[in-house]
Amino acid sequence: MRIGTDIVSINRVAKSIDRFGDRYKKRFLNPSEIQKAKRTESIAGYWAAKEAISKALGCGIGAELSFLDITIYKDKKNAPYFRLSLKAQNIHNIKDSSLSISHDRGFAIAVVILKL
């Protein structure tokens, strides 16, 4: 089992969106995520989730795993889960996972548990 966590300031994400607009979002969100994540809090949560996943995998964001290799989804009960690109799946052998994203008082946080 591996665990990863990340916390990000929602205000920091808001400033980046104001400054760079869609270019900022396209840097780390897939098109389906851009459609779903309309609120800044949600966008910050996706950032935190992807960082937490990369930390749990022990590689960080880089050559082995890019932000765009990770796609965040929501199930019927609105609980988040993720899938890796085929390239990343071939590198990282994840057998099971659990993802939680939350935001409050100006921060978004994500925690992931992976069974490798």
- The verdict on whether 103 is a catalytic residue reads yes
Choose the catalytic residue: 25, 50, 55, 92.
Answer: 55
Q: For the chain, what is the domain count?
A: 1
What was the pLDDT predicted at 105?
95
Alpha-carbon gap, residue 64 to 74, rounded angstroms: 25
pTM: 0.96
What was the pLDDT predicted at 113?
98
What is the CATH classification number for the domain harbouring 85?
3.90.470.20
What was the pLDDT predicted at 45?
98
Closest CA to 54 of 67, 43, 73, 40: 67
Q: Is 105 in a helix, a strand, or coil? A: coil
Give residue 25's domain range. Answer: 2-115
Choose the catalytic residue: 25, 50, 92, 103.
Answer: 103
What was the pLDDT predicted at 79?
97
What was the pLDDT predicted at 23?
96
- The verdict on whether 38 is a catalytic residue reads no
What was the pLDDT predicted at 69?
98
Query: In a structure prediction context, what are the per-residue pLDDT tens digits for the chain, which is 116 residues long?
Result: 999 999 999 999 999 999 999 999 999 999 999 999 999 999 999 999 999 999 999 999 999 999 999 999 999 999 999 999 999 999 999 999 999 999 999 999 999 999 99
DSSP character at residue 43: H
Burial class (CB in 10 A: 0-12, 13-18, 19+), 69: buried
- Nearest 5°: the CA angle 68, 71, 74 is 160
